[in-house]
A and B are shown apart, each in its own frame.
Chain A
Amino acid sequence: MSILLILVPISLFLGCVGMLGFFWTLRSDQYDDLDGSSMRILSDQYDEKPKPQESTAPKKR
């Protein structure tokens, strides 16, 4: 079972990477508009790079 000493840290590391990836997607607002994102690929307007997101916090009236 000494193989565990290698496997466990590796799987933890991969798990961490996954979590950090999740945080990145969360921060860059990628969950805001799933339907829209899937539709935008059909237009050729953003072939170079995706449409930039505007600032996240709406200003108060």
Chain B
Amino acid sequence: MSVSACPACGSGGITEAVLDKTSAVAQSSSADQTLLFSLPDIHCAACIAGVEAGVSRLAGVRDARVNLTRKQLRLTADPALEGRVIEALSNLGYRALPLDTSTLATRRDEAGRRLLMRLGVSGFAMMNVMLLSVSVWSGAADVTRDFLHLVSAVIALPAVAFAAVPFFTSAFGALRAGRLNMDVPISLAIVLASLTSLYETIHGGEHAYFDAALSLTFFLLLGRYLNHITRASSLSAAAELAALEPRKALLCGPVPQLVPVETLKLGDVVLVPMGAHVPVDGEIISGQGEVDTARLTGETMPQPVSPGREVFAGMVNLGEALEVRMTRAPEASLAARIRALVEQAETARSRYTGLAEQAARIYAPLVHGLAALAFLGWYLVSGDLRLSVTIATAVLIITCPCALGLAVPAVMSAAVSRLFSLGVLVKDGSAIERMAVIDKIVFDKTGTLTRGKPELVSDLPPEQLALAAGLARGSAHPLSEAVLARADALGIAPVSDLVDRVEHPGLGVSAHWRGQAVALGRSDWVDPEGTTSGAEIQNALGIGEQAVSLRYVDSIRPETSDLLAWCHGAKLAPALLSGDRAETVQELADRYGLKVLGAAVMPDEKLELIQGQGAHVAMVGDGLNDTAAMQAASVSIAPGAALDITRRTADFILMNDDLSRIPKLARISSQARKRILENFAIAAIYNMVAVPVAFFGYATPLAAAIAMSTSSILVSLNAYRLYRSAS
């Protein structure tokens, strides 16, 4: 099917093999992998049975299992079957979105499980010890009390030694690096509480703080666990981009050779077969047709190319095989430069200090200071070491990092869960904090505010549409797909009696139908003498001598006008940043009163423009050319239909492509931030009351237990308010 200018280069056989190898996606062997899909519409037993049965029927699919709580489908299959699975699901009536295991709602990991286990141990131990402690507080005396203390010790000490390990390791690590973190006072509190209680038990003392030590461990582990399930995944956009760059190229020569891209020299000529990615930046020396530049510019429409034109690594060749002479080294290619910029943006972003960290910075030194002061004070006044240590320990326990440790994680996990039920997947919990303070929002155009696919808008009589569909069938060109989609929507079947169907790369499709020559393709090719205007996307259908003009439009998403009205109302100064042509961008901007931040810009320019927008900008985009800019923005949002890598590295994913979720996202984020600050306030007030109590020696174990539990419960209940708020 492809005509190659390089005489020695082979025919279709090589094209197939080369297609796989020069494809930019690093393909492993066709080993089965675990694939994950989000199914937002499932809700009942019939859905489970239907989906599992329907998907298991596909050849090559094993172990299909639906998770109704997370609204996901997990199965084992060859990754290439992903499209077929999505198709089968949509035939059954369910929308499906392929998921990556980096999004928060999908992760299952060992660290989380270990935390849960420690949580379980400390929880059981805490409850049992509290049983015994209540007996003591109710007035057990002498031998009975000592016995109960002893049993408490036997339960508590091993439990603490096992369950509190995460705090000990973290504190140790920080101390060794010469720093203080939240876990240092926590570990001190737990260890001191256990040791002084043991001492008291051995010497028949009255107060033992075993239940306090265990409560501390339990509540703090809870906070730790909640934090764990909302933390950012370690997926790096830069690493993902690197994986997408083509690593092998087909070097032209007497026998075309597949060589690593790094071994190419300037001036080398590579062959790019139809359907393959261009491996290097260069100039076309032979071949013409069209390339898909969506990756780099976001443009939906393929760009015509011919000898002399420049192409970039990452473009997809849609026409006949091209010969490209490399003009820029692979490390200097546009794709590589974008990746370097993304890396830079990522390092800058990882330095964000969340609210929790800011609180911890004040908290840790303050607590240590107070405890040390208590110890010194009492020792000087009473000279009693045992008493001083006990009171210092009580101060450490009472300042209870519990409320503080739960303040942020409790709210975060409530917010993530709430967002999930609203159809927004969160990749990074701290993004919720950043979302609450944005003051500007920037939108990409193609694929974000618009559907990204051209739609046929011309009104054709059914026979002509059927003919066009028949010609379009089998072509991967976006305009052909638009024709087929329209025919499908109207229930018109494509004609099946086409004869001599020939695809002319870059021009169109021609055939013979019932004795007449018919063609579907570029207007100037189908009808050389006809008049065509330049601005709109156009094609023509030729039947014999007659030419029918077909108009296409990249339609705006229906929720866009409401969304932009909201943006204006919220004083977010919405702006457009697009790689598309200036006229189309300006037209859209004028229609909705948007500012044009940039038009016809390349990905690196997008990045710079975003960086110039200040520290609180949100970016909504869907393509590879948006990825760099999205990393530089404070918050990045991607619709579910976005490109794989963009979806995987965005902070938020809108599961059903519904942009109207953005206002809800903003509202929940600002509510979450309010709850966090309220929780800090609760923790602060509690401490202001509790610390003097402990300082002056009134903090009995009973008081400590009540104080800790109450503050933790208050903080959690406050976080729970996020579930109840109207959306």
Contact = CB atoms under 8 A, between A and B. Distances in A.
B168 interface: no
Contacts of A53: 65
A47 interface: no
B464 interface: no
A51 B68 CA distance: 14
A33 B106 CA distance: 12
Contacts of B70: 33
Given A36-B69, A58-B101, A23 B155 contact: no
Contacts of B358: none
A54 B65 contact: yes
A22 to B, nearest CB: 5
A12 B108 contact: no
Interface string A22-33: 110010000011
A25 B556 CA distance: 49
A47 B378 CA distance: 68
B67 A19 contact: no
B681 interface: no
Interface string B72-111: 0010100100000000000000000000110000001010
Contacts of B79: 61
A54 B74 contact: yes
Contact of B124 (A19, A32, A51, A58): A19
B76 A36 contact: no
Nearest to A53: B65
Q: Give the interface size bracket for B toward A.
A: 35 or more
A57 B109 CA distance: 7
Interface string B290-317: 0000000000000000000000000000
Nearest to A57: B108
A22 B121 CA distance: 9
Contacts of B108: 32, 56-58
B67 A36 contact: yes
B65 A26 contact: no
B133 to A, nearest CB: 13
Contacts of A15: 124, 127-128
A16 B76 CA distance: 38
A11 B151 CA distance: 11
B44 interface: yes
A23 B119 CA distance: 11
A11 B128 contact: yes
B66 A36 contact: yes
Interface in B120-141: 120-121, 124, 127-128, 131-132
A59 interface: yes
B144 A43 contact: no
Interface string B137-163: 000000110011001000100000000
A32 B66 CA distance: 11
B16 interface: no
Nearest to A18: B124
A59 B116 CA distance: 22
A13 to B, nearest CB: 11
A41 B396 CA distance: 50
A51 B127 CA distance: 34
Given A56-B108, A59-B34, A43 B48 contact: yes
A12 B66 contact: no
B128 A12 contact: yes
B59 interface: no
Given A12-B128, A35-B69, A59-B33, A40 B116 contact: no
Contacts of B337: none
B69 A33 contact: yes
Given A11-B131, A19-B120, A59-B33, A35 B63 contact: no
Given A45-B49, A54-B63, A61-B33, A36 B68 contact: yes
B501 interface: no
Nearest to B100: A61
B526 to A, nearest CB: 44
Interface string B409-422: 00000000000000
Given A4-B147, A23-B117, A59-B34, A36 B155 contact: no
Dominant secondary structure of chain A at its interface with chain B: helix
B581 interface: no
B81 to A, nearest CB: 15
B113 interface: yes
A26 B131 contact: no
A40 B63 CA distance: 16
A47 B13 CA distance: 52
A3 to B, nearest CB: 11
B644 to A, nearest CB: 11
Contacts of A33: 67-70
A34 B67 CA distance: 9
A6 interface: no
B45 interface: yes
A56 B124 CA distance: 26
A34 to B, nearest CB: 6
A54 B108 CA distance: 13
Contacts of A40: 45, 48
A39 B49 CA distance: 10
Contact of B116 (A1, A26, A34, A43): A26
A52 to B, nearest CB: 9
A36 B66 CA distance: 8
Contacts of B127: 15
A58 B34 contact: yes
A22 B120 contact: yes
A4 B144 contact: yes
Contacts of A61: 33, 79, 100-101
Contacts of A39: 44-45, 48, 68
A23 B100 CA distance: 29
Contact of B48 (A4, A23, A36): A36
Contacts of A23: 117, 120
B649 to A, nearest CB: 14
Contact of B151 (A1, A8, A34, A59): A8
A59 B113 CA distance: 17
A48 B281 CA distance: 62
A53 B68 CA distance: 14
Contacts of A11: 128, 131
B646 to A, nearest CB: 16
Contacts of B45: 39-40, 42-43
The 7 closest A-B pairs by CB, nearest first: A36-B68, A42-B45, A39-B45, A35-B68, A54-B63, A58-B34, A19-B124
21 contacts: A8-B148, A8-B151, A11-B128, A11-B131, A18-B124, A19-B121, A23-B117, A26-B113, A26-B116, A32-B69, A36-B69, A39-B45, A39-B68, A40-B45, A40-B48, A43-B48, A43-B49, A45-B49, A54-B74, A58-B108, A61-B101
Given A18-B124, A43-B49, 12 more contacts: A11-B131, A15-B127, A15-B128, A19-B124, A22-B124, A32-B67, A36-B69, A39-B68, A40-B48, A42-B45, A56-B108, A57-B110
